[in-house]
Amino acid sequence: MKYEITINGARRCVEFTPPKNEGLRVAFTVDGRPVEADAIRISRGAYSILHGGRSLEVTVEEASGGLLLRVNGREFQAKIFDPRSWRRGHGAGIELEGRQQLVAPMPGKIVRVLVAAGEKVSAGQGLLVIEAMKMQNEIRSPKSGTVEKLAKEGQTVNAGEVLAVVV
């Protein structure tokens, strides 16, 4: 099975066949380079991987627009482009190039809106400011595009609620 993975910004082509058993060696290739490792699942989102003689603890969390991985404290951002992703519902990665949806990272209040709906914005431009736990955080546009949807100033939002859509 072929996958395209972006990891900390770099694009890698991975050939990987799911292992038959846990705790057995898993063989795969990264950009053609063969890799063999021993992987077991410790709990949901936590793996112990022995690779290159090293013992690595990897945790995986779903983060906005991909996966946040921590390997012995080192962080990696990853996105998987799965050839079978549509069937699996893993299509989120594809959306990156298209419609971008920004969700509230936690419950809070919109204290400032910096752009108007319909406005053209560039990547990194501040869209609005959310306040939670007495701290303010600016939510920036992940891409250049047009603001389609936007939360209102003073609005209270729950975690996961859509704050803005950039197309």
Partner 1 sequence: MGIVSVAVFSDADRAALHVRLADEAFRAGPAPSRESYLRIDKLMEIARHAGCDALHPGYGFLAENPELARACASNNIAFIGPSPEAMERLGSKTAARQLAARAGVPMVPGTKEPIENLNGAGTIARKLGYPVLLKAVAGGGGKGMRAVSADAEMGAAWRDAASEAQNAFGDARLYLEKYVDRPRHIEIQILGDAHGRIVHLGERECSVQRRHQKVIEESPSPIMTPDLRRAMGEAAVRLAKDAGYVNAGTVEFLVDAQRNFYFLEVNTRLQVEHPVTEMVTGLDLVKLQIRVAAGEPLPFSQDQVKLSGHAVECRLYAEDPANQFFPSPGTILSRRAPSGPGIRLDDGVYEGFTVSTEYDPMLGKLISWGEDRAEAIARLRRGLAEYSVTGIKTNAELLLGILRDPEFLGGEIYTRWLDERLPRLLSGMQTQERDAIAEDAAILAALLHSLDGKDAAATNGAATETESRWKREGRFEQIDRSE
Provide the binding-site residues for partner 1, judged by CB under 8 A: 3, 5, 7-8, 12, 14, 16-23, 26, 28, 30, 35, 37-62, 67, 69-76, 78, 80, 82, 88-90, 105-108, 132-133, 135, 137, 159
To the nearest whole angstrom, how small is the minimum distance from the Cβ of residue 8 to partner 1? 8
Q: Which is nearer to partner 1, 82 or 141 (CB)?
A: 82
To the nearest whole angstrom, how small is the minimum distance from the Cβ of residue 126 to partner 1? 12
Q: Which is nearer to partner 1, 56 or 114 (CB)?
A: 56
CB 122 within 8 A of CB 97: no
Question: How far from 85 is each of 11, 30, 88, 167, CA to CA, in Å?
Answer: 17, 19, 5, 22
Residue whose token pair is 């709906």: 117
Q: In the numeric block, which tokens belong to residue 134?
A: 């007495």
Q: In the numeric block, which tokens belong to residue 117?
A: 């709906």
Q: In the numeric block, which tokens belong to residue 22?
A: 């846990």
To the nearest whole angstrom, how small is the minimum distance from the Cβ of residue 105 to partner 1? 7
Give SS3 for 96: helix
Q: Which is nearer to partner 1, 58 or 164 (CB)?
A: 58
To the nearest whole angstrom, how small is the minimum distance from the Cβ of residue 116 to partner 1? 25
Residues 6+ apart with CB under 8 A from 86: none
**Of all helices (H) and strands (E), which one includes residue 75?**
strand 74-81
DSSP state of 152: P
Q: Which is nearer to partner 1, 139 or 147 (CB)?
A: 139
To the nearest whole angstrom, how small is the minimum distance from the Cβ of residue 112 to partner 1? 15
